[in-house]
């Protein structure tokens, strides 16, 4: 099978609001992303994915789109986007952008037309229904925020459907006119030269046409990786994932494949499905739907070897032959990985992410070991967090800390004297400036790991095999068919662990790269002991090999 650029890519997820502010309004912008492209090129990633920057009232920070083909003035304009795209391509970086197919803002001209005239041509672009007997909503569906998914419109005497905020009405993808309009949106950006899309909330575009009630979930049960409040009170059987969506994603794939050679343009899919065979159906029966349905299995896995290994095996077992798995350890919607697994295990999480087979998504700031930010109640901006502070996503969205200059309280994110839209947090390893100068920093480790991945065939396209290992250690090999396979060992405990038995099962091995970045990493005199929290990539080749753990 022909190898395409995305089969083993590392995609860097940029949350533009929090990357770099160049115009002094406290919010990151597209010129800020362009200014930091050299940083991404030095890091060694293959592509960047931009969260929404489209014209929006910002009720949900850009996912409530008012105009799909305009840049919100908060982030710049179309010229700024074009300059960013050209500059990224000049650095050898592909650019993916968000594609939000399920809903729009209620300020979008489509919805305003739909709402204004019950008999107008755009009325059925959205999901309008009469009330149930007695005036109740048409069914029991609830939003991600735990409220009814239906809002009453006094003027037209019907309810409209929204999977998120009432100001974010759902489009009706069974309407061919909606499909045509949304494909025109995709063409607009493809014609400008984007390399693909990340499809937001991919399962939501097709609901049960009969609008059947969702069944209640068992008390305390949840298929999600963390509690989602009232949303977990139902099994979301009928408000998403109806089989009607598969022809639509075949159409999306055909559209992408019509630009350049098939496979040049790619679609990531946000698929929060934890039944792995059901998740795998988004690839399509003939791998003709989404190129890269994202799996979120590692975001909430218990941080111990059996749970991690079992999750990875289950996902790989579900993947169709010839398909590529996409892994993620952090996102703008979830607690930071350094806070989930603890600062002593953050480097192991990065090592795991970048040594698994397939494509990896690296969320901005995770390369620095950034923890969740401390956001006081009066600084919460996330609409979910305003309703349920414990579920706020702001903690994972704090701005990037670039500079260590004492005259920049915002760590170089905003011009001097400007307050960032969210509080700044400085990771234990320091700002980007500090970590670039420190060979023992998380940033230096991530760069070394990306360089090793880029130059090692076994990591780019090799198979994976899990090994029996001492308690607390996750061990696996990556092999491209030669005798020189790689061994990866992750000590997930806070104690030293001898792994001489593992090392003796294969030809003599040397350390290619270690998360312990100093020579006295706590191993003592025995190199076959993993230090507390240490992860190591071992090579089978010994002749002429040098220990590259410090770069």
Structural domain span for residue 115 = 103-172+207-236
Distance between CA atoms of residues 381 and 359, nearest Å: 32
| pLDDT given for residue 541 in this prediction | 54
Q: Do 378 and 525 belong together in one domain?
A: no
Distance between CA atoms of residues 105 and 376, nearest Å: 28
| pLDDT given for residue 24 in this prediction | 96
Distance separating the N- and C-terminal Cα atoms of the chain: 34
Distance between CA atoms of residues 42 and 44, nearest Å: 5
Structure tokens at 219: 């008390």
Which value, to the nearest 10 degrees, does the dihedral of the CA atoms of residues 44, 45, 51, 53 take?
60
Q: Do 428 and 494 belong together in one domain?
A: no
Distance between CA atoms of residues 259 and 265, nearest Å: 7
Q: Do 250 and 331 belong together in one domain?
A: yes
- Classify residue 88: in a domain, yes or no: yes
Longest dimension (CA), the chain: 81
- Classify residue 328: in a domain, yes or no: yes
- Classify residue 164: in a domain, yes or no: yes
Q: What letter does residue 88 receive in the DSSP assignment?
A: H
Q: What letter does residue 286 receive in the DSSP assignment?
A: T
Structure tokens at 17: 């609001």
* Cα torsion 32, 37, 39, 44: sign: positive
Return the CATH number at 513. 2.60.40.1180
Q: Do 412 and 507 belong together in one domain?
A: no
Q: Above 60 in pLDDT, residue 485? A: yes
pLDDT, one tens digit per residue, over 521-532 is 545 557 899 999
Return the CATH number at 193. 3.20.20.80
The average pLDDT across 453-464 equals 94
Asked if 270 is an active-site residue, the reply is: yes
Distance between CA atoms of residues 304 and 167, nearest Å: 41
Q: Do 354 and 489 belong together in one domain?
A: no
pLDDT, one tens digit per residue, over 397-445 is 999 999 976 557 899 999 988 999 999 999 999 999 999 999 999 999 9
pLDDT, one tens digit per residue, over 218-240 is 864 555 555 566 888 999 999 99
Q: Do 322 and 251 belong together in one domain?
A: yes
Distance between CA atoms of residues 111 and 167, nearest Å: 10
| pLDDT given for residue 226 in this prediction | 55
Q: Do 232 and 243 belong together in one domain?
A: no
Sequence-ordered alpha helix ranges (H) in 18-139: 30-35, 37-43, 78-90, 109-116
Distance between CA atoms of residues 480 and 458, nearest Å: 5
Please report which confidence band the pLDDT of residue 547 belongs to, taking 50, 70 and 90 as the band edges: very low
pLDDT, one tens digit per residue, over 121-168 is 999 999 999 999 999 999 999 998 889 999 999 999 999 999 999 999
The average pLDDT across 3-30 equals 97
Phi, psi of 480 (to 5 degrees): -105, 20
Distance between CA atoms of residues 422 and 518, nearest Å: 34
pLDDT, one tens digit per residue, over 360-401 is 999 999 999 999 999 999 999 998 888 888 889 999 999 999
- The percent helix, strand, coil of the chain (3-state, each to 5) is 30, 15, 50
Sequence-ordered alpha helix ranges (H) in 271-424: 276-280, 305-318, 337-341, 346-355, 383-387
The average pLDDT across 495-505 equals 89
- Classify residue 183: in a domain, yes or no: no
Asked if 200 is an active-site residue, the reply is: yes
| pLDDT given for residue 551 in this prediction | 32
Tell me how many degrees the CA angle 145-150-153 measures, rounded to the nearest 5: 130
For residues 274 and 259, the answer to whether their CB atoms sit within 8 Å is no
Q: Do 34 and 122 belong together in one domain?
A: no
CB-CB neighbours of 467 under 10 Å: 16
DSSP β-bridge partners for residue 363: 13
| pLDDT given for residue 438 in this prediction | 96
Q: Do 230 and 243 belong together in one domain?
A: no
Above pLDDT 90, what percent of the chain?
85
Please report which confidence band the pLDDT of residue 266 belongs to, taking 50, 70 and 90 as the band edges: very high
Show which of 384, 412, 444 is a domain's final residue.
Answer: 444
Return the CATH number at 155. 3.90.400.10
- Classify residue 344: in a domain, yes or no: yes
Selection from 98, 99, 95 nearest residue 5 by Cα: 95
Which residues touch 539 (CB under 8 Å, ≥6 apart)?
484, 486, 487, 509, 510, 512, 545
Which residues touch 358 (CB under 8 Å, ≥6 apart)?
7, 8, 324, 325, 326, 327
pLDDT, one tens digit per residue, over 336-359 is 999 999 999 999 999 999 999 999
The strand pair at 292-294 and 266-270 is best described as: parallel
| pLDDT given for residue 222 in this prediction | 52
Above pLDDT 70, what percent of the chain?
93
pLDDT, one tens digit per residue, over 175-222 is 999 999 999 999 999 999 999 999 999 999 999 999 999 999 986 455
For residues 372 and 395, the answer to whether their CB atoms sit within 8 Å is yes
| pLDDT given for residue 503 in this prediction | 87
- Classify residue 394: in a domain, yes or no: yes
Q: Do 409 and 272 belong together in one domain?
A: yes
Q: Count the residues in the chain.
A: 551
The average pLDDT across 481-503 equals 90
* Cα torsion 348, 349, 350, 355: sign: positive
Distance between CA atoms of residues 56 and 104, nearest Å: 9
* 3-class SS string, 411-462: CCCCCCCCCCCCCCCCCCCCCHHHHHCCCCCHHHHHHHHHHHHHHCHHHHHC
For residues 439 and 513, the answer to whether their CB atoms sit within 8 Å is no
From the candidates 98, 200, 334, 394, which is the catalytic residue?
Answer: 200
Please report which confidence band the pLDDT of residue 483 belongs to, taking 50, 70 and 90 as the band edges: low
Distance between CA atoms of residues 383 and 458, nearest Å: 44
| pLDDT given for residue 544 in this prediction | 40
From the candidates 64, 270, 366, 448, which is the catalytic residue?
Answer: 270
Residue showing tokens 């950034």 = 370
- Classify residue 546: in a domain, yes or no: no
Q: Above 50 in pLDDT, residue 546? A: no
Distance between CA atoms of residues 466 and 468, nearest Å: 7
Distance between CA atoms of residues 61 and 51, nearest Å: 10
| pLDDT given for residue 240 in this prediction | 97
Distance between CA atoms of residues 94 and 453, nearest Å: 18
Distance between CA atoms of residues 484 and 469, nearest Å: 20
How many structural domains compose the chain? 3
Q: Do 90 and 109 belong together in one domain?
A: no
- Classify residue 449: in a domain, yes or no: no
| pLDDT given for residue 481 in this prediction | 81
Q: Above 90 in pLDDT, residue 259? A: yes
Q: Do 217 and 279 belong together in one domain?
A: no
Distance between CA atoms of residues 12 and 37, nearest Å: 11
The strand pair at 486-491 and 497-498 is best described as: unpaired
Residue 39: exposure state from Cβ atoms within 10 A (0-12, 13-18, ≥19) = middle
State which H helix or E strand residue 253 sits in: helix 245-257
| pLDDT given for residue 542 in this prediction | 43
Structure tokens at 393: 């996503």
pLDDT, one tens digit per residue, over 53-98 is 999 999 999 999 999 999 999 999 999 999 999 999 999 999 999 9
């Amino acid at each position: 099978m022909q190898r395409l650029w995305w089969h083993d890519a590392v995609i860097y997820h940029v949350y533009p609001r929090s990357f770099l502010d160049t115009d002094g309004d406290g919010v990151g912008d597209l010129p800020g992303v362009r200014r930091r492209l050299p940083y991404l090129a030095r890091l060694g990633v293959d592509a960047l994915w931009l969260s929404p920057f489209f014209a929006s009232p910002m009720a949900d920070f850009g996912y409530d789109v008012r105009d799909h083909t305009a840049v919100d003035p908060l982030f710049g304009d179309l010229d700024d986007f074009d300059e960013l795209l050209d500059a990224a391509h000049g650095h050898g970086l592909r650019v993916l952008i968000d594609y939000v197919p399920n809903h729009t803002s209620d300020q979008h001209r489509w919805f305003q037309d739909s709402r204004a005239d019950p008999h107008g041509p755009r009325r059925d672009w959205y999901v309008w229904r009469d009330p149930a007997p007695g005036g109740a909503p048409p069914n029991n569906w609830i939003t991600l925020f735990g409220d009814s998914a239906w809002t009453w419109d006094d003027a037209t005497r019907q309810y409209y459907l929204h999977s998120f905020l009432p100001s974010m009405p759902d489009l009706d993808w069974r309407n061919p006119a909606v499909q045509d309009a949304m494909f025109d949106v995709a063409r607009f950006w493809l014609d400008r030269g984007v390399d693909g899309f990340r499809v937001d909330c991919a399962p939501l575009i097709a609901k049960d046409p009969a609008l059947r009630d969702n069944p209640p979930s068992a008390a305390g049960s949840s298929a999600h990786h963390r509690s989602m409040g009232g949303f977990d009170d139902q099994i979301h059987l009928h408000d998403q994932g109806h089989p009607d969506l598969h022809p639509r994603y075949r159409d999306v794939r055909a559209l992408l494949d019509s630009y350049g050679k098939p496979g040049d343009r790619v679609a990531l899919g946000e698929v929060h499905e934890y039944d792995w065979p059901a998740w795998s159906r988004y690839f399509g029966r003939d791998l003709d739907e989404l190129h890269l349905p994202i799996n979120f299995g590692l975001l909430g896995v218990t941080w111990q070897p059996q749970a991690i290994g079992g999750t990875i095996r289950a996902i790989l077992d579900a993947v169709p032959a010839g398909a590529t798995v996409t892994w993620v350890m952090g996102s703008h919607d979830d607690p930071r990985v350094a806070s989930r697994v603890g600062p002593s295990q953050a480097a192991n999480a990065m090592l795991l992410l970048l040594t698994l087979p397939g494509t990896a998504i690296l969320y901005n700031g995770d390369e620095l070991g950034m923890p969740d930010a401390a956001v006081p109640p009066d600084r919460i901006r996330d609409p979910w967090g305003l309703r349920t502070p414990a579920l706020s996503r702001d903690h994972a969205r704090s701005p990037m800390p670039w500079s260590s200059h004492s005259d920049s309280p915002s760590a170089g994110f905003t011009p001097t004297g400007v307050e960032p839209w969210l509080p700044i947090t400085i990771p234990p390893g320091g700002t980007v400036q500090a970590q670039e100068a420190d060979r023992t920093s998380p940033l230096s480790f991530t760069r070394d790991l990306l360089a090793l991945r880029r130059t090692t065939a076994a990591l780019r396209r090799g198979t994976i095999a899990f090994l029996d290992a001492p308690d607390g250690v996750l061990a696996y090999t990556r092999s491209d068919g030669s005798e020189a396979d790689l061994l990866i060992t992750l000590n997930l405990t806070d104690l030293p662990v001898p792994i001489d038995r593992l090392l003796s099962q294969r030809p003599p091995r040397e350390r290619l790269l270690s998360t312990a970045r100093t020579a006295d990493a706590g191993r003592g005199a025995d190199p076959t002991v993993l230090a507390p929290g240490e992860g190591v990539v071992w090579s089978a080749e010994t002749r002429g090999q040098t220990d590259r753990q410090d770069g």
